Structure 1
Amino acid sequence: MAGKSKKRFRILMSVFLSVVLLLGVAGNVALAYFSDVVTMYFNEIDVESAEAVEARAHSEEVASQIADEGIVLLKNNEDMLPLAETTQLNVFGWSFTNPVYGGTGSGKVNADTAVNPKQGLENAGFEINEQLYNDYVATGLERPIIDMDGQDWSIPEPLASEFYTEERMQQAVEFSDTAVIFIARSGGEGADLPRVMDGPDTFDPDGGSFSATGNRYGFEDDLDPDKHYLQLSNREQDMVDIVTDHFDNVVLVVNSSNTFELSWVDDYSEIKSILSVAGAGQNGFNSLGDILAGEVNPSGRTVDIYTRDLLDPPAMVNFGDFNYMIENADGSYSHAVDERDVLLKYVEYTEGIYVGYRFYETAAAEGIINYDDEVQFPFGYGLSFTTFEQEVVSGSLNWDDENISFDVSVTNTGSVAGKEVVQAYFSAPYTGNIERSAVDLAAFDKTDIIEPGESETITVSFAVEDMAAFDHNRIYSDTGSYVLEEGDYTIYLNRNSNEVIEEVETRTLSEVVFDNGRSTDDQVPVNQFDELEAGEGSIATYLSRENGFENLDELVNHEEFTVMTDNGEEIVRGKLVDEDFVDLVNRSRYEIPEDTQTEAPTTGVDNELSLDEFTGVDFHDESWNDLLDQLSVNDMVDLVTLGGYRTIEVESVGKPVTHDYDGPSGITAYTSRSDTSGTAFPAGVMLAQTWNIELATQMGESVGAEGQAYNVTGWYAPGINIHRSAFSGRNFEYYSEDPLVSGKMAANKIEGFENQGGFVYMKHFALNDQEENRTLGVMTWANEQTVRDLYLKPFEIAVKEGGASGVMSGFNSIGTVWAGASSNLLQEVLRNEWGFRGHVNTDFFLGDFYPYMVAELGFRNGNDLLLTGAAPVGVPEVNTSSNDTLWAMRDASHNILYTVANSGAIDDPLSSDMPTWVKITIAVDIALLAAIMSGFYFTFRKPKIKVDPASN
């Protein structure tokens, strides 16, 4: 029996030890596979270093200044603000206990240590009604999740009939005669904001990451088919009614980066003041307190027009979910899909150039709207606690064939020191040949602090060619060109887009066709996107100013179709296409052209060159070829495919690794712990609302200094897509509806950051102006004037003036072609016309999840790097037998190496020492292996047989 027991023990122990050994091997294989993501997670940021402490302290100062100047005073009847004689405040609205600091998704920044609104007001000397505040906290409500894994669009607010009892309101009245109503809205990556609040059944809990998984609403009484997310909810409406019944002095604070519909305020005389506070970042709510107290004089201006009905702008009829449909033989309809089962989605920019203020100012000029009935707050609007007088300095106008400049004297005519924004607009002639809005922002600047009675002179300047528009219809040239049409051009000094201070000058200009390019162009701009207007899937009608926008009612180019799903019938919006169109999409997305190169590039030679020798070497210098020859095929493949949150080390050319982090409001990264994040700056909207490009520069410098302290070189920022609609989920990280404001903010932020040795990835290039269907490669259609004059212009300014050295391409498609594989966009426009020198990264690349993002087509058409994540999930197989692909990867490698060679990473390379976690893993492996071997030894050793001498 003893023998059998010992044998059984040995079997069980050997099985146990074998399983432990196999688990150890499997664990090591997994750690090796995910080594980069583990390394990034455990990457230590020395937040206590002198460099980090200094950088963070400066960042916090700049963030505070951005909030000081970026909060917009929209209304101040009876000069209610500042609250000079009031120190006790009742603050109503649950969101006061849980505000919005920014947005969600890749732009999210850790705000765990942020100053909350209560702290901000208390820091400014106010006493908050603690009982009311604590009662809100006691409701147990939570901020809903609005993120890439799903969205809950519930608007937290307690039920009025239960919460706002007469007893509670009486306590508030006795505490103070002043009330603040605090309303907040969030947005984020992955989904646009709901345009109807009646869809509890549209939430899909099984929806995938990085996509709009649906809408879920938490309160049945708020499910109102007549309301949208940017209106007061029913519960909020009840709260406003009760508060205004009890208080005659009410301040409304709107904590939202998306414009909020505020026409309802006109019905409440008790609401005397309105403050717009976009995502406040780490310490921006201190600024709210300081403004209420009068310690800071607000100087922010709107960067989007506030219409009384946010669903009214012409862009809204073609914003959202639109499907290409196929009619079946039996007369039923089904979704059109490509050869890899991706639904064919589209969006059409039928409004053309008439986005935001461009439409409303033009419609008013044409006499088809009453401006005040349609618009509550113009673009560029904002109030101050003081008054300013602006006037053009007599005799200062200089208008020649190339430039326009004039001086503006700004005088503080009030009693409080403050800053003022100077805005210059121009009006171009409308001939009917090229669409032109009634006014366009031409230039802007901001004064320093001006004391009462003092003045400052601001010089406004811009190029004459900046007033040109693109003639995509080839009326003035055979190829398409920028054109100044013959006619009257008027320059205005305005207070905002609608309020003229002074007509500076009107001149009749002769026709100028820039068929040799503008002064800033490296290559003559010609039509590059004709395919956006050709074919079955494109737009039939664009909005035209002709005859007072007579075709305004023709912009709806979609129908409603009934399709059968597993859950029954579903109504979808879209248009019919045939198989020929589907074939066109498939060819555009998946067809790899045959090779044109007969020989492969030279690889793997040893020319004894190192990348640090190429700092400052011209991009086109032939010596780069000798360095590129040193790359092996595997070097190129790894360099271009392993581009998630870093560029990899390449020993053959002495290229160091770089860490590339998100996001637009500061340094962060998905895969890092929360304590590895940098300063949380206010949202991009708030920065833009400062109208202060010097602050944009300072923010870029501050993030760059933090990057140096944290060993971060690349920055996935800035986001500079256009606010085509108030409902875009990602408006918080973009700047404005206006391309000039967007471009100037981006250019200065980029210049500041790259002057610290970093490089940016400005994003998302291009026409990625809605979140819905973006990861389905939504086909974006627009005419070339619209594309160039609005949506590409901020990127153009960022390259030409900011020197941007990195770009992130979009998930979306330009027509039928994925943005990351559009040679017209990435090669002809970006590189050849604008002179961009640097590299282009994709948005998140997940292989089979987004099959239309074909890496080989990307490489061949100007996309250099794949954002495949820190772990090698989704890394594609590269066809290294194709000579054209090898040459494309060589070009891509050149672009990446050029960027890194001219960054701070080349002077201060990151350590390539073995990470601590690897050393620990090796030590654990050795100990575990020793234990397993010892276990086997003691399990199977034979006992020594003792011999009894007596037996002899």
Structure 2
Amino acid sequence: MATRKEIKQEAVARVKDERAAKRARKDELEAMTSDERTAAKASDKTAARDAKAAAKEERAEVRSTMNRAQRRELKRRERVYRKVKHRPRRAIGWGLTAAAGIGVVALAAPYASAFGRIAGLEFNDAGPEAVAAREAALEVVEAISDEGMVLVQNDDDVLPLADAAKVNVFSFASFNLLLGGGGSGGTAVAGAPTLYEGLEGQGIEYNEDLYATMEEAGAEHTEGSSNFLVQIAEMAMGNAGNAEPAPDYLTDEVMEQAAGYSDTAIVTIGVAGGEGTDLTQEGLQLTDEQIALLDTVTAHQDDVILVVNAGNQMELGFVEDYPQIKSVVWMGIPGPQGAVSLAKIMSGEVNPSGRLTDTYAYDVASAPGAENLGSHSYTNADRAFLEYEEGIYVGYRYYETRYLDDEAGYEAAVQYPFGHGLSYTDFQWDAIEPVITDDTVTVDVEVTNTGDVAGKDVVQAYFSAPYNGGIEKSAIELAGYAKTGELEPGQSETVTIEWDVQDMASWDTEAGNYVLDAGDYAISMATNVHTPVATFDHEVADAVVYTADADTGYEYASQFAFAEGDVTYLSRDDWEGTYPTAPDGTEEASDEVLALMDPEIVPAEGEAPTYGADNGIELADLVGLDMDDPQWDAFLDQLTLDETIELFSYGAYKTAEVDRLGIPSMTMLDSPAGLNSLFASLEAAAYPSEIVIASTWNDELAYAVGESVGTEAGIYGVDVWYAPGMNLHRTAMGGRDFEYFSEDPLISGKMAAGMVNGAQDQGVLTTIKHFVLNDQEVNARSGINVFTSEQALRELYLAPFEIAVKESAPTGAMSSFINIGGKWAGGSSELLQNVLRGEWGFDGFVSTDAVLGSWMDPAQAALNGNDVMLAVLAPGTVSATEAAVEEDPVGIGNGLRDRVHQLLYTVTLTGALS
């Protein structure tokens, strides 16, 4: 057996050799002509694909001849190699620039004043109403963590534990459960019950001698920082999470005592995610120390319960190497009542009813999107780029399609399918033949609890569209879902799932519309994406073309040719030939992309807006008026240019005010897991992360979160909530996956709509975010160019936002840092005007994400539909906007007027004027 040092030295040497070869090849390519280089790169891509396939076959052959110990050492070598190879990817994003860049001491006077506006925010969080709201929120929080946790495995019915059970709790991670994520999407969970307190509350005894042994070895309960900038910095430096030491402290004597105490053990593993950095594949695997811990525990304990405390899909194939691991509970990042809910599930007080919202693959890097995840830059421009070469094949859409009619291949790739989850009881379904009209599909399913304990069930509906080449189609897609109420043994409930026929159509980029192809469709009711209970056939005799949005009448058209790039997208016609490959470091931005990165302002002709009129109108006079009421023009004429620019520029957490016109400021706060203030003190309730909310598959609980946050916000004087987050889990490595709902756009959109409706019914506005393609943290805050097919953009990444807009009418949206192709999302009229406002009928305001770079150009925002700049250091934005108006007084001037019109209309919808 090689030592750790020897393995690392071997990995370093291997990576050095690979990098040297890559540099040499790069030099060779640069010396070629353009045509030669194109041919050579194509050849390299084919060779790389062939080499990868050959290496995979060789590894499989070698592994088949190894014993368990040899296989583990091989895995260990590969983990260390990947860690060394991908180390450059880890330092990304905010890094420490957020904390350092806004240090007040270093700021000039105007910047200090701008920052002081935010830091000076005060909240009414100590009164009896506020205290009562936080107490009420705990009930919502616990209900969600009760229903959001997923019983993934339960061999021999080890769970629930018997009455008066005794357990051995192992792992340092058990001392500090990960209850909230890091960054602006995190929450402060100081004082939350520990796992041990949760067990005690359920009458489950734990081995106190073992607990003391771990304490003596260095395990301790820590609160963690409640400052979100500190959390971001910790993530960037790799300090977040629980480090498991080598289990040397588990001596033979300790383990003999534990075996005498109980034959049941609990082991916790976890992964922390946060804003500003992504995870690596290695980070989603067991460490050597965790493997050693499991080796030790399983050698002395017959029944092991594994608790997976992570917001990202970890690689859990190791569970199959340990027959002693009988039960697996995924608890996600569950908020402050997580330990209580986990203990209730273990005791049986709560029958788990959560379902996974992601596919759990044995190898997270087997997802095609993982091939080009990371940091890649142009040779001719100071800009990173990312190509979504996988097209529509994200999550289950890839695995279910790639392994269609290949069950052995599927079982080798997927451990737990999307939608998977177990219960302590059994259910029987009676699905009635779907009722299908020209517009809708409706299915009724009678669910009966045939087991011995009460429980809730989730009915999932899927459709499969015919594919004969042409437009890419997933072999199966989620069409709808419903969750039953609590059913007592023998009790039944009929649930109804309905969706639009158009939801089964595909985007035809060439034609610029949606098309429902003719052919045979399968409609299935299933317990997860791979396990149908009842399937029905439906024939579409003739193709149906949808040329306009059914809700708004807006005519469809392809809008995002500039986002497609020079990219070959994955096709089920040729999996091997179109499979993604990582960039080789020689990529150049095309002239077209360079032009998008540096947009030119052509001064407009016409009349500049009127400024400084004296019409005697205050903003309160406009409350209740439509945006197109003539009174608005008379009111806006009163603004000076300086006031207009300030209203547009000061959009970070507190908007600008104009006392002479009765314009108050709005207070706007993060985050999807509960209100937080980056710069001012605020005590507010912490909620489960969005992935746990989605894992309830219960729209009513999503509404309850929004309702609870909205109630709090009203008490604290908060007008706008920066939530919910709606980007997709494109890969398992996304640093903010905990903060987003799922790999699937439908459940993401439905959950978001529930949260928005809940908050806005309390009079608190929301901003659905981050619009769009903010699915990776690497380079996100440096203006990365993201390329994707328009089909994938519409069917996956835009779809959650479209659902939310149409089902909850959010009053705000937050554009992303991302450059679509090369055009900043906050400066894209195609995105903000044509699709968001035109196709979908959105009539709210759009804010930027935090203004961190010059690519977030206020001139482009003003011209193209982004209403307010979330600029912490607003004077810089003011200066840039003033320069733009001087260059183009008509175009930028009228653009700013439109932006401020939308913003002030939003103010009239809040309680800020009361």
Contact 1:739/1:791 (8 A) holds in 2: yes
Per-residue CA deviations over 1:409-457 (Å, capped at 9, x if unaligned) read 0000101101111111011111312111111000111111010000001
CA distance in 1 between counterparts of 2:622 and 2:546 reads: 36
Contact 1:630/1:652 (8 A) holds in 2: no
Amino acid at match of 1:188: G
Q: Give the secondary structure class of the aligned counterpart of 1:386.
A: coil
> Offset at 1:615?
3.3
1:102 matched to which residue of 2? 180
CA distance in 2 between counterparts of 1:496 and 1:180 reads: 27
2:903 matched to which residue of 1? 896
Superposed, 1:710-729 pairs within 5 Å as 710-729=716-735
CA distance in 1 between counterparts of 2:219 and 2:901 reads: 53
1:381 matched to which residue of 2? 420
Distance 1:35 1:88, change over 3 A: farther
Per-residue CA deviations over 1:361-411 (Å, capped at 9, x if unaligned) read 1122253862211111110110001011112136xx321101111211000
Distance 1:875 1:133, change over 3 A: farther
TM-score of the superposition, structure 1-length normalised? 0.81
Distance 1:347 1:61, change over 3 A: same
1:410 matched to which residue of 2? 447
> Offset at 1:611?
2.5
1:457 matched to which residue of 2? 494
> Offset at 1:458?
0.5
Contact 2:780/2:817 (8 A) holds in 1: yes
From 372, 382, 387, give the equivalent of 2:411: 372
Pairing 1:576–2:661 present:
no
Contact 2:514/2:546 (8 A) holds in 1: yes
CA distance in 1 between counterparts of 2:753 and 2:244 reads: 44
Contact 1:669/1:677 (8 A) holds in 2: no
> Larger C-alpha radius of gyration, 1 or 2?
1
From 627, 633, 650, give the equivalent of 1:625: 633
Q: Give the secondary structure class of the aligned counterpart of 1:122.
A: helix
> Offset at 1:872?
5.0
Superposed, 1:482-881 pairs within 5 Å as 482-515=514-547, 517-534=548-565, 538-539=566-567, 541-546=568-573, 549-553=575-579, 555-556=580-581, 558-559=583-584, 574-577=585-588, 581=590, 584-673=592-681, 676-846=682-852, 850-869=853-872, 876-878=879-881, 879=883, 880-881=885-886
Amino acid at match of 1:284: G
Q: Give the secondary structure class of the aligned counterpart of 1:832.
A: helix
Contact 1:35/1:871 (8 A) holds in 2: no
Per-residue CA deviations over 1:283-322 (Å, capped at 9, x if unaligned) read 1221001000100010000000011111111111121112
Distance 1:289 1:777, change over 3 A: same
1:320 matched to which residue of 2? 374
CA distance in 2 between counterparts of 1:525 and 1:245 reads: 62
1:178 matched to which residue of 2? 264
Contact 2:241/2:272 (8 A) holds in 1: no
Contact 1:155/1:233 (8 A) holds in 2: no
CA distance in 1 between counterparts of 2:515 and 2:239 reads: 46
> Offset at 1:109?
1.4
> Offset at 1:875?
5.1
1:124 matched to which residue of 2? 202
Pairing 1:189–2:275 present:
yes
Aligned residues: 799
> Offset at 1:96?
1.0
CA distance in 1 between counterparts of 2:582 and 2:158 reads: 48
Q: Which deviates more from structure 2 when the two are superposed, residues 615-624 or residues 486-495?
A: 615-624
Superposed, 1:236-275 pairs within 5 Å as 236-275=290-329
Q: Give the secondary structure class of the aligned counterpart of 2:667.
A: strand
> Offset at 1:876?
4.1
CA distance in 1 between counterparts of 2:879 and 2:754 reads: 36
Contact 1:141/1:156 (8 A) holds in 2: no
> Offset at 1:508?
2.6
> Offset at 1:146?
6.3
Amino acid at match of 1:442: A
CA distance in 1 between counterparts of 2:593 and 2:660 reads: 40
Contact 1:522/1:835 (8 A) holds in 2: no
Amino acid at match of 1:402: D
Per-residue CA deviations over 1:6-53 (Å, capped at 9, x if unaligned) read xxxxxxxxxxxxxxxxxxxx9999788535644544544333423212
Per-residue CA deviations over 1:730-772 (Å, capped at 9, x if unaligned) read 0010000000000000011011111111111211110110000
> Offset at 1:531?
1.2
Pairing 1:166–2:173 present:
no
CA distance in 1 between counterparts of 2:513 and 2:203 reads: 59
Distance 1:366 1:352, change over 3 A: farther
Pairing 1:229–2:283 present:
yes
Amino acid at match of 1:440: E
> Offset at 1:510?
1.5
> Offset at 1:665?
0.2
Q: Give the secondary structure class of the aligned counterpart of 1:466.
A: helix
CA distance in 1 between counterparts of 2:874 and 2:898 reads: 25
Distance 1:155 1:662, change over 3 A: closer
Contact 2:710/2:759 (8 A) holds in 1: yes
Q: Give the secondary structure class of the aligned counterpart of 2:468.
A: coil
> Offset at 1:860?
1.0
Q: Give the secondary structure class of the aligned counterpart of 1:449.
A: coil
Distance 1:127 1:40, change over 3 A: farther
Per-residue CA deviations over 1:99-140 (Å, capped at 9, x if unaligned) read 211211111211112222222222222222233334334444
CA distance in 1 between counterparts of 2:370 and 2:414 reads: 16
Q: Give the secondary structure class of the aligned counterpart of 1:606.
A: coil
Per-residue CA deviations over 1:248-288 (Å, capped at 9, x if unaligned) read 01100010010111111011111100000111212122100
Segments of structure 2 that go 5 or more residues without pairing to the other structure are: 1-103, 225-229
Contact 2:169/2:207 (8 A) holds in 1: yes
2:81 matched to which residue of 1? none
CA distance in 1 between counterparts of 2:737 and 2:645 reads: 35
2:353 matched to which residue of 1? 299
Distance 1:686 1:154, change over 3 A: closer
Per-residue CA deviations over 1:827-883 (Å, capped at 9, x if unaligned) read 11111111111111111113xxx1222111121111111111277576543233222
Amino acid at match of 1:790: L
CA distance in 2 between counterparts of 1:137 and 1:121 reads: 18
Structure with the higher fraction of residues in helix conformation: 2
Q: Give the secondary structure class of the aligned counterpart of 1:238.
A: helix
Segments of structure 1 that go 5 or more residues without pairing to the other structure are: 1-25, 196-227, 326-335, 338-342, 475-479, 560-573, 909-952
CA distance in 2 between counterparts of 1:683 and 1:75 reads: 22
Per-residue CA deviations over 1:161-216 (Å, capped at 9, x if unaligned) read 52221122223223322110011110111111023xxxxxxxxxxxxxxxxxxxxx
Q: Give the secondary structure class of the aligned counterpart of 1:749.
A: helix
> Offset at 1:584?
4.1
Distance 1:112 1:460, change over 3 A: same
Contact 1:139/1:158 (8 A) holds in 2: no
Output the aligned Cα RMSD: 2.2
Amino acid at match of 1:259: Q
> Offset at 1:156?
4.2
